[in-house]
Every structure is written in C-alpha cells, then in structure tokens.
Structure 1
C-alpha cells in the first residue's frame, strides 16, 4: 500500500497518526499511555465513577445482609466472635475483591469507546462490564496465586520467612508477566487460564516496559487521590478511594491496547 505524504511549511512530512479518541492509533510510548489515562478520566470520569459506585452499591447489599446477621448473632456472648470471624470478615474480603474486579471490568468496557472517541452511558458501561466480572476476577486471582505461589510453597514446606527474600524477584517477574490477564479476560472474553496465557504472550519482550508503566500508574493513583483530597476537602476524600481503583486499571488497559497495536 503506497504511503501518502503531506506538504507542510515547505517540507514533506508523513501524516499524523489518526486520533479519534484518547490515544493516537499507533504504538504508544509511556507518555501517550499516561496522557491517555488522564484524558480518559477527564472525558469519561464522571460516568466511570457513577458506574463504579452503582456497581459497588449492588455488591454492598449482600454484605449488608451478612453484616446484619452477624450483628444479631454477636449479641450472644458465645457465638458472637465466631460469627464475626467466619462470616463478616470473609464477606468484606469478597467485597474488596468484587470492587477490584468491577473497576477492572469497567475500565475494560470503557476502552473501545474511549479509544474510538464514542460516547458512553452509565447503564451501558454496567451492561458491558458486569457479565465479565467472573472471568476478570478469576484471572486476577490466578495471577495473584501464580505470583505468590513460590512463597506460599516455601512457607508450607516450613522454611522461615526471611528465606523468602530470594523468591521476591520471581514473584515480581510473574506478577508483571500476568499483569494484563484481567484486561485480556474482559476485552477478549477469555477464560482465566487463557487470559494468563494471553498476558504472557503480550508482555513477552516488553517486561520492563510493562513494569515501568504499571508501577508509575500505581504510584500516581494515591498522589492524584491526595491532590483531590487537598483541593476539595471532604468531597475529595470521599471521591479519592474511587480514583484509586480505576486509574491503574485504565493504564493497564491502554498498555494492553498498545501491545495489540504492535506487530
């Protein structure tokens, strides 16, 4: 296919890459990815936050039922502590996992319209994200299990905790290798195991780049939350935790798009 050139300012320059949405449709640099995250939050942040809060509210209702039952049971001296430990704490942990999976699924659902510059709605985001939550959650749990597996096996074998330090690089390598698995599960409709294989294929040859982008996005999330809190006070403090969830997921999503755009 012949390449077209554009004459500008007395010289011949190749045309700019098309940019219908938040990123140019070409292989991306770290600056493009982080800039795309900020642009996405600026254009779609309100709808993303609304979908996240509504989804978390729906997940909170079963927790509230369990909490009420645990509170009633705790009125008895003998069963109260057992009910609290065996019902309320695991339910709270499941809610946190659900919130993380929901944020990832929503970020993935936002990818295609954000990249193409299309409008989105809160109900539309939820309809696209909710069915993929089980696969996204499964991929995230498998990725965590793979990263923590060597250390857990060493502890199960009776090794002292300080002996796990040499395994830290292995855990880090595996964690980055599978960092794109939840995004792949949501975007491509893959099962958890297939998503892990897809992430490994995409990260292969770009491990350091993946590590750098994800680490920087993870560091920017609490910084942005602090700025929000400092600028808005109590309303910012209420919004800040919601910002901590989608920002790193959006960065992973745009990094995934970048890996897909590359030959």
Structure 2
C-alpha cells in the first residue's frame, strides 16, 4: 500500500480509505454502518420516498378499483357485503406485501449510488428495483417461514405458549442468519433459495455483528416513526410507515456491502468502484 508523510505525528502513515459516498471503502464498524444509513437517508431520502410512492401508486389504484367494485357489489345486501370483505382484504394484504418487498428492492438499488456518492433519480431507482421486487418478496417470505414456521406450526398443533419458548432462540438465530437475503435478492438478482444461501454465507462468523446492526436500525426506525406521529400529526403518520420500511433496509444494505468487502476484498480497500454487481 502506498504511504504518505503526515505532519501531525512526524512519520509515515498509510493513506485513509477513500470515501466518495456515505461510507469509507473499507470494512466498517456497526457505528459506521448505522451512521452511513442515516447519511444515505438524509441525502437520498426524498428520492427514495418518491420512488416508493411511485411504485405504490399502481398498487393503490388496484386496491381502489377492487374496493370500488366491491362497494358496488355490497349494495346488494348481505352477499354483497361478504364480497366487499373477501375482495378488499386480500387486495390490501397484497398491496402491503408489495410495499414491503419494493422497499427492500429500492434499498438494494440504492447501495451503489450511495456508496459511490453518485446522484440518482427516483425513476432510475424504481426502474432498477421493480424487476427485483418478486425475488425480494420471495426471499422475505421464505426467511420468515424458516424463522417463524416451526413455532407457528407447533402453536397451531395446540402446544401451550410456554412449550414454544425453546423455539425462540432458534427463530432469532435463523432470522439473523437470513437477514441479508432480501438485499442479496435485490442486488444480485438471486432467487429466494439462493438469496438465503448467500445470506448464510455472508453472515457466517458475524452473527452477533449482524444482530448488532439490524436490531438498533429497527429500534431507531420505530422510535423515529413514533416521534413523527406524535409531533407532526397527519404528515408524520404518512412518513412513519415509509421510514419503517426504508431505514432498516438501508442499514442492512450497507451491512451487506461491508460483508462483501470483508469476504471478497481482503487484499485491500477499494479505491475506485466497489466490485459489487450493479443492479
């Protein structure tokens, strides 16, 4: 590695890692990852929110259309009321699932611009994220099934809640092990199973480190969302869900980049562009 002269201590010191974007191009500490996520939210939050709202617009139109049709059907007494419920509830659930997956795909699409400090428009983010959204949703659902499935099955079988306590550590371990799967699916265009395998490889040897990033990121987003709702009324209530959807995923995205730096670039720091597949 090249060296340079410093006047502060009098001696030769290695140069600092370049930092073109929200993080330095070297292995990161958990504090740097969370700080980088906050910086990314500050720099790109408007464009990220714009892309999320643009993507949700189609889903909102679909839910509105289904709700309108079901409302017309509900004018015909009881059978119509059932049709309203049966049509609107699944449509709303699908919309929420789509929003959940789209937020993860958008955060994955933002990794490269954020790390390199490059501008990006909302439409560019959305164009990159939409084709990856089904894979992100599949990875999320599969990770959720792996972590919560055994406990849910045992509960459905009639086991008392206390008997399920031994499954809680296993569920937590699996949830953290597969925490990077949605980002891997969105960034590398992997299928759900391949994304879970990728996450397990990247998290191997860094389980506690992964928990130390994902848990504070979720807690920060939850606390900030509560403050927004309490202090800013209706506008805050509109922004809170977007914050809950995006900020934890930004932190996970930077953690994903950090794990790839550590696993795949041990020879030295990156100096130009990260050798991470562009979405």
TM-score for the superposition, normalised by structure 2: 0.89
Alpha-carbon offset, residue 123 of structure 1: 0.9
Per-residue deviation, residues 183-217 of structure 1 (Å, max 9, x unmatched): 00011110110000000111111111111210100
Q: Which residue is equivalent to 2:89? A: 89
Report if the CA contact (8 A) 1:6-1:15 is conserved. Answer: no
Per-residue deviation, residues 96-122 of structure 1 (Å, max 9, x unmatched): 111111111111111101101111001
Paired residue secondary structure (1:247): helix
Q: How far apart, CA to CA, are the structure 2 residues paired with 1:230 and 1:152?
A: 34
Report if the CA contact (8 A) 1:52-1:103 is conserved. Answer: yes
- In the superposition, relative to structure 1, how do residues 64 and 259 fare at CA in structure 2: closer, same or farther (>3 Å)? same
Q: How far apart, CA to CA, are the structure 2 residues paired with 1:51 and 1:134?
A: 17
Per-residue deviation, residues 104-159 of structure 1 (Å, max 9, x unmatched): 11111111011011110011011100010000001001001111121133134442
Paired residue secondary structure (1:262): helix
Q: Which residue is equivalent to 1:125? A: 125
Q: How far apart, CA to CA, are the structure 1 residues paired with 2:90 and 2:18?
A: 48
Q: Which runs of 5+ in 2 are unaligned?
A: 264-279
Q: Which residue is equivalent to 1:50? A: 50
Alpha-carbon offset, residue 229 of structure 1: 4.3
The aligned runs of 1:31-46 (5 Å cut-off) are 31-46=31-46
Q: Relative CO higher for 1 or 2, CA cutoff 8 Å, sep ≥ 6?
A: 2
Q: How far apart, CA to CA, are the structure 1 residues paired with 2:256 and 2:249?
A: 10
Alpha-carbon offset, residue 227 of structure 1: 3.8
Report if the CA contact (8 A) 2:214-2:251 is conserved. Answer: yes
Report if the CA contact (8 A) 2:75-2:81 is conserved. Answer: no
Q: Which residue is equivalent to 2:60? A: 60
Q: How far apart, CA to CA, are the structure 2 residues paired with 1:158 and 1:226?
A: 35
Q: Which residue is equivalent to 1:187? A: 187
Q: Which runs of 5+ in 1 are unaligned?
A: none
